[in-house]
Structure 1
């Protein structure tokens, strides 16, 4: 009889323990605890691993204490959490803790602050963007000169994020330059140190770096009507302030034998406006006039009434003051087709 009573007591105690275990709420620290406001709430620090309780659901919203400052962190222990729960009327016997006994809670920006931080200026003047780009490109050029030991006329196109344009539009705000990699050409990633008030930040800037194109330029002063030879020419970097709508020569062979239409100073680039084919017939010269009819060519003499290069039309005067339009075919030589008409001179 005593044995049955003892067995019944043990069974009752086991059921009570099981019921008590089932009623317990299991808590644990969150994997990455974080808060956004000025106050830490329990739900930001812990989570319910098992069990349901209306009391716990309500207590999860309770404040635990002041939050760390932005960018800082706090270390919380499970004992501290249980003590806060007990102070708010949660019996320790109804809680079971699992997992780590401590956690590191950090303060992060709220979604509103993140949006504010990612916003860009509503109005950025084109002049400000251009000024910032020029200053950054100048700083990068000096940096590349220092790194390579050569003063090259680098062609740099900097891609500046809009939020940083205003800060980089002032020379005094650009503190230092770093980054990039040899051979320093193509797409490069640089680091620009920019001053924001009393703080200096490192900003990553992408830039395209190229060598300037080489063009044909005057090695010495070139006179009008001078026929160009190799000793009068050289290759020079295309100036940054060169006209965009002017086509320059990149191969010296393109201009050899051409004749200057205008004078040009030393070091200046050659373009079409300065050059032309050599003048082979001048006004007043005696020229050979070839008259072509079928397979027969008859030559005579005449006087050129104008000048020009090969392929140009020129008026020539034949014997008896008869005038014709002829095509210049070579030095002091023109050609007239049999169908050419005399030039009528107005009286």
Structure 2
């Protein structure tokens, strides 16, 4: 069967940002490129997801070939420098506008949701639900005025960092093998950001945040701890993956982890090569379920932002993934939780 899939993370908005003149082909009809478009999402059972606003780093002529390096571990990639909010805001606004355009252009097939009633209505009617997410808070000023502006536009999920530092905290560098304990925690502005997100009901995403920042959020936040697209460090010791201690803290907060499809965070050898079977995927899922419990695990693809296993390929491969999960022994009740219901549950506990 084709399960309704709630996805914890994608970067489709970045594709639209980079080619706005082709956005109708990219979104409405599909070009056969990337991982997501409206027809393929419908075909694969993609029912809902977080759509990331992400500020690309300026290109450098002498930047290393990160793709090649990540396919030949060990590696430790340098992080780009901080981007100030004045530079980031126009880009973030353009990406938010693309998400709102996706809703207007879809003729009822896609809706940006801002509350639980709208989310549940979409799931009941087959309308794809989109949640505005910010991956890295570069577009937010220290006084948090822009946070309120983006909240009014529909922002309901935010990660303080995308690996690169912000005025709010520090992310993990892309390193394999490596530990997530890579630097200092949240700044004072970061602590204010967490408190204000709690007050507004904006979910805080811990993916990309280093261990000290993770600990700070855990100490400050009154909401469930969530990592939208992260895997198990015990299986793949990447800085981007979560240790068993972190998983226990997420479990105890009644939080959530979305399994990242990126091959570099799935494969035990840390390589990017998509030629892999289902075993690494299932090993991570088994470990996450064991450490978090079956009510706190879901999917967080990183579609259009990562190399994914060849067995998945794109959104049309979601039924192949769920078939492998069923063949592995996951029963119908657990499948319903993993594919959709756990995300709905944690948003209900976060948004109220």
Normalised-by-shorter TM-score class: under 0.3
**TM-score normalized with structure 2 length:** 0.16
Q: State the structure with more CA Rg.
A: 1
**TM-score normalized with structure 1 length:** 0.17
* More contact order relative to length (CA 8 Å, sep ≥ 6): 2
Relative to its length, the structure with more strand (as a share) is: 1
